[in-house]
């Protein structure tokens, strides 16, 4: 099965990106990845769109990685999709019994008929079984797509509720801290859900507003039939380029200030904060350990430790860990042995996952999972699904979750406030959301 690859010059990439995303809405399977011009995060492309499944593979967590391995090996093509957090149950002897109203499959990948890869002014298209003038017609349709001039906002009557109320949050956090003091674990990422029932939103416009507020390097719009992910993720989970593997965990967050001097002080305070640094270092150790399972001996390197990067909404402390793998290592094994990403679990990983499963009220599903793609050359790139709104159109259910790393030095009130800082963009967008 051949893909026809063609390149064209795009005179106004920003305008074209908007048109491309609008045009994609006619399809049932859509994955849009936008790096929002973050060159320093080593994106392979500025934006990627995959639409219209030629084949689809979806499953629950049972034996999921083996089945994905088979699908990826036999297809030998571009595959786009997601891994939900609950695939932990395939990797370890764990289970997920928490409340779930989003009802996303645990794993879903599709082989798209049409792929658009944008880098600078160059658009590369990869069409499967290209028919006559199909590409020219599509490009003409895309370029004539009308996009709204700005993002409208309306006051809305979306009622956002908390799955865990403040007093209950403190109770759970104190329980978690007692497990840490006892030595069961050093750190756990504890998450809570905010949700709205009987709610209809316009997924595309909600995503555009979220992206406009945050402009993150791993933004994602995912539509699979009636299920949507609208993500402003700042975090890369894992990337494979040739034989080099890169993981970039985020641990450590500070708010922004409009005052330049104050903002610089916030960066300095974050970079010197002992609690935030120790959180980050614990996860870096965990990532090093995970990568070593498939790495060539001695090739795991911490390229950057606790470097503060600035985003539109927050400052984040990011570390970069790399390794080299041999040509014989299957790409799915690299994911299986590192999943779920340490920044979303805690350390030691298995104990932390067991404890948070008991304390959390909601099945995480796609939240704190990953979205990305495999290339025909066995490369891949996946983000971490955080700062994201999830929507089940059929159930009229909207949800976003936020979490924080809890260590022995954690102050429950500060942790609660950090959650609200992380949730701010999603809340703002939904409260001003555009209805259908």
Question: Helix, strand, or coil here: 74?
Answer: helix
Q: Compute the distance between CA of residue 231 and CA of residue 242 in angstroms, rounded to an integer.
A: 27
Q: Compute the distance between CA of residue 366 and CA of residue 85 in angstroms, rounded to an integer.
A: 6
Instruction: Output the 3-class SS for 289-337.
Output: HHHHCCECCCCCEEEEEEEEEECCCEEEEEEEEEEEECCCCCHHHHHHC
The verdict on whether 235 is a catalytic residue reads yes
DSSP 110-149: EEEEEEEEEETTEEEEEEES--TTHHHHHHHHHHT----S
- Cβ 317 vs Cβ 266: under 8 Å: no
Single out the catalytic residue among 251, 349, 363, 422: 251
Q: Which tokens in the block code for residue 395? A: 């159930």
Cα–Cα nearest to 287, from 270, 300, 306, 271:
300
Question: Helix, strand, or coil here: 379?
Answer: coil
The verdict on whether 264 is a catalytic residue reads no
Single out the catalytic residue among 235, 276, 360, 415: 235
Q: Which tokens in the block code for residue 379? A: 């490369």
Q: Which tokens in the block code for residue 326? A: 């041999």
Catalytic center residues: 235, 251
């Amino acid at each position: 099965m051949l893909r026809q690859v063609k390149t064209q010059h795009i005179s106004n990439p920003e305008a074209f990106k908007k048109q491309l995303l609008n045009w994609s809405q006619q399809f049932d399977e859509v994955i849009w990845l936008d790096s929002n011009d973050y060159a320093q995060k080593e994106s392979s492309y500025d934006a990627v769109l995959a639409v219209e499944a030629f084949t689809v593979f979806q499953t629950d967590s049972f034996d999921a990685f083996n089945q994905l391995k088979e699908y990826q090996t036999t297809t030998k093509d571009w595959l786009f999709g997601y891994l939900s957090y609950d695939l932990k149950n395939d990797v370890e002897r764990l289970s997920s019994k928490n409340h779930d109203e989003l009802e996303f499959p645990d794993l879903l990948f599709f082989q798209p008929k049409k792929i658009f890869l944008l880098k600078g002014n160059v658009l590369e298209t990869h069409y499967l079984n290209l028919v006559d003038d199909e590409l020219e017609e599509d490009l003409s349709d895309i370029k004539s797509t009308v996009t709204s001039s700005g993002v409208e906002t309306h006051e809305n009557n979306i009622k956002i509720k908390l799955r865990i109320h403040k007093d209950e949050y403190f109770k759970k956090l104190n329980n978690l801290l007692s497990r840490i003091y006892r030595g069961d674990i050093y750190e756990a990422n504890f998450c809570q859900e905010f949700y709205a029932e009987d709610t209809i939103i316009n997924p595309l416009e909600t995503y555009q507003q979220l992206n406009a507020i945050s402009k993150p390097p791993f933004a994602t719009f995912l539509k699979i039939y009636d299920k949507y992910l609208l993500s402003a993720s700042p975090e890369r989970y894992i990337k494979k380029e040739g034989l080099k593997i890169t993981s970039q965990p985020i641990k450590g967050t500070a708010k922004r200030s409009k005052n330049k001097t104050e903002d610089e002080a916030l960066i300095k305070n974050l970079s010197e904060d002992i609690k935030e640094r120790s959180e980050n270092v614990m996860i870096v150790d965990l990532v090093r350990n995970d990568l070593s399972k498939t790495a060539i001996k001695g090739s795991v390197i911490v390229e950057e430790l606790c470097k503060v990067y600035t985003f539109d909404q927050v400052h984040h402390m990011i570390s970069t860990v790399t390794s080299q793998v041999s040509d014989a290592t299957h790409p799915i094994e690299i994911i299986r042995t590192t999943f779920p990403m340490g920044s979303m679990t805690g350390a030691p990983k298995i104990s932390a996952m067991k404890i948070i499963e008991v304390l959390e009220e909601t099945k995480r599903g796609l939240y704190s999972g990953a979205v990305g793609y495999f290339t025909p050359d066995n490369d891949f790139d996946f983000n971490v699904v955080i700062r994201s709104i999830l929507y089940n159109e059929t159930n009229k259910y909207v949800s976003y979750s936020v979490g924080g790393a809890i260590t022995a030095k954690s102050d429950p009130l500060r942790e609660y406030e950090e959650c609200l800082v992380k949730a701010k963009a999603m809340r703002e967008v939904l409260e001003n959301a555009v209805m259908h």
